[in-house]
Amino acid sequence: MIPFKRVDHISMGAPDWRAQSALLERLLGFKFLHSWDAHEGQPFSGCVSQVPGTGIEFEIISPAGPASFVQKFLDEQGPGLHHITIEVPSIEEAAAAMERLGMKPFGGITDDGMWRITYVHPKDSGGILWQLFEPYMFPAEADRRTTGGAVGLKCVDHVSMAVPDLARQAEWQARTFGMVEEGRWRDERLGYDGCVMTIPGSLLKFEIIAPYRPDSFVRAFLDQRRAGMHHICCDVESVDAAAEALRREGIEPFGGVIQSDWKRHTFIHPRDSGGVLFQLTEETEAR
């Protein structure tokens, strides 16, 4: 198992981090913290924002030119979720643990001037690029108070991953990162199986969804793209109020407001959020 301390951030790629950051701050209350410019050896610029209620940050990276890996990502997939970053106590120990698990640390161990870094490649993880880092420099203190944005966001509950084989992915997460499964379910209406796992040291949870019918939206996602991050689920004060706030922003809540057994929820479509499917959820009774 790879020992780690916490989830630091979720990252997305976008053509213009400034516009994307402003949009997510207005809609979701992701509060801008700091930015950086591209430089030699780092062909991208970007920023990080504080996510309400979850203790993690949200990063946006943008290409500095046509040769940037971020531009390649945008050309192949369009704007969207790019990687998840976790802090480890020792990058050497993390790399050694990867080797013991049969994985080669992707890119070796590098140094960006603040962190020592390596990666778990999506081919090894089942679809997600995991960035592992050990910091030795830290950004200046910043005001991290958040407002929840237009939708009244309380916290980010989980990041969701779509895969063809739920059991295999859940086993990988448990073996590699020590995630603990909380429960599984089957959605008969939408034709998919799901499970949610706790992440050590984090309020953020990890969801896995997999199709069991060929007409499932999860199957369509896998056929059109590939296994990987699917959406981010956010808890809001009121789904109805969030839906009205989106309409005032000129955004129609994707799928309308839906009542399930224990929750009300709606979505912000990637075309309206800048590339990420956000689920907005309000629990209406205990699960």
pLDDT of 80 strictly over 80: yes
Q: How far apart are CA 205 and CA 160, in angstroms?
A: 9
Domain that holds residue 123: 6-135
Q: How far apart are CA 281 and CA 107, in angstroms?
A: 38
Both 81 and 187 in one domain: the answer is no
Both 107 and 186 in one domain: the answer is no
- What CATH number did the domain enclosing 84 receive? 3.10.180.10
Q: Which of 168, 174, 172, 208 is CA-nearest to residue 192?
A: 208
Domain boundary among the residues 84, 109, 135 is at 135
What angle is formed at CA 231 by the lines to CA 226 and CA 235, rounded to 5 degrees?
A: 165
Both 66 and 163 in one domain: the answer is no
Going by pLDDT thresholds of 50, 70 and 90, the confidence category of residue 242 is very high
Q: How many separate domains does the chain show?
A: 2
Query: Which pTM does this prediction carry?
Result: 0.96
Q: Has residue 148 been placed in a domain?
A: no
Maximal C-alpha separation, the chain: 53
Both 185 and 101 in one domain: the answer is no
* Residue type for position 241: A
For 148, other C-beta atoms within 10 Å of its C-beta total: 17
Instruction: Tell how many helices (H) and how many strands (E) occur in the chain.
Output: 8, 16
Q: How far apart are CA 236 and CA 195, in angstroms?
A: 21
For β-strands 80-87 and 6-13, DSSP reports them as: antiparallel
Q: What is the residue-averaged pLDDT of the chain?
A: 95
| β-sheet with 106-111: strand ranges across | 31-36, 44-50, 57-63, 6-13, 80-87, 129-135, 115-120, 106-111
Q: Has residue 207 been placed in a domain?
A: yes
Q: How far apart are CA 71 and CA 13, in angstroms?
A: 9
- Helices marked H in 3-143 — which ranges? 17-28, 69-77, 91-100, 122-125
Each residue's pLDDT tens digit, 123-164:
999 999 999 999 998 877 888 999 999 999 999 999 999 999
Q: Is 176 strand, coil or helix?
A: helix
Domain boundary among the residues 91, 108, 135 is at 135
Q: Is 265 strand, coil or helix?
A: strand
pLDDT of 287 strictly over 60: no
pLDDT of res. 46: 96
Both 162 and 274 in one domain: the answer is yes
Domain boundary among the residues 84, 108, 135 is at 135
Task: Look at 137-151, 184-198, 201-215, 229-243 and tell me which has the smallest mean pLDDT.
Answer: 137-151
Q: Which of 167, 200, 224, 215 is CA-nearest to residue 86?
A: 200
Q: Has residue 147 been placed in a domain?
A: no
Both 122 and 157 in one domain: the answer is no
For β-strands 129-135 and 205-211, DSSP reports them as: unpaired
